[in-house]
A and B are shown apart, each in its own frame.
Chain A
Amino acid sequence: AQKITQTQPGMFVQEKEAVTLDCTYDTSDQSYGLFWYKQPSSGEMIFLIYQGSYDEQNATEGRYSLNFQKARKSANLVISASQLGDSAMYFCAMREGPEETSGSRLTFGEGTQLTVNP
């Protein structure tokens, strides 16, 4: 079974509007971290936001917020007031403990390509 599922290969949004990128995950671990990264066409992997499995409040970082629904195992990224520079690939990732995965690596979803239209 996929550990991280991103069901939207591509999304389009108008500039200044909000957009939600979906992410569901699968783990039996109690302690885990959920992360979103942005990869622009230049290729670098930029960390955006983090949510811990024990965090009760949804994470926020500027225009980014994470809608964390633990019972549904979902961790959707919300980008408010989209900008042209937000056009990029967005990856949801999960990190479990070393006991659960080799080397406490990040497990990535397949990504969502976001295009912001002027």
Chain B
Amino acid sequence: EAQVTQNPRYLITVTGKKLTVTCSQNMNHEYMSWYRQDPGLGLRQIYYSMNVEVTDKGDVPEGYKVSRKEKRNFPLILESPSPNQTSLYFCASSRTSRPTDTQYFGPGTRLTVL
């Protein structure tokens, strides 16, 4: 089944404790992206990747890191999480970055930083 998977689905952590949210897709997509969704602010892009070893900042990259060593994986790293990073996080992928390509979303990761 073609899908985007994320782990963990739920995470409660404390300020400053490094964490990684994994994202994997099995559709051989070139483009991958991370979004966060917050009440009143909607969905905002954090980082994106056009292909392996090609990553760039989105609209809200502060406090996050990413890497794209393999085509299928695009982990999101929070080196020192803070409470304002409490959010619902989505990984998404599409065949390419063309505007006519559909972005498919993972199931989401609900992160709480205490």
Contacts and interface: CB of A to CB of B under 8 A. Distances in A.
Interface of A: 29, 31-33, 35, 37, 43-47, 50, 52-53, 91, 95-98, 102-106, 108-111
A103 B58 contact: yes
Nearest to B88: A43
19 contacts: A29-B99, A43-B108, A45-B90, A45-B92, A47-B102, A50-B100, A97-B98, A97-B99, A102-B56, A102-B58, A103-B48, A104-B98, A104-B99, A105-B33, A106-B92, A106-B103, A108-B42, A110-B42, A111-B42
A108 B38 CA distance: 12
B110 A43 contact: yes
A103 B102 contact: no
Interface of B: 31, 33, 35, 42-43, 45, 48, 50, 56-59, 88, 90, 92, 97-105, 107-108, 110
A103 B101 CA distance: 13
Contact of A31 (B45, B50, B99): B99
Given A103-B48, A108-B42, A33 B102 contact: yes
Given A102-B45, A103-B45, A95 B105 contact: no
B108 A45 contact: yes
Contacts of A31: 98-100
Nearest to A35: B102
Contacts of B103: 35, 47, 95, 106
B92 to A, nearest CB: 8
A75 to B, nearest CB: 14
Given A47-B102, A95-B100, A105-B58, 13 more contacts: A31-B98, A31-B99, A32-B100, A37-B105, A43-B108, A47-B104, A97-B98, A98-B50, A103-B48, A104-B98, A105-B48, A105-B59, A108-B43
B34 to A, nearest CB: 10
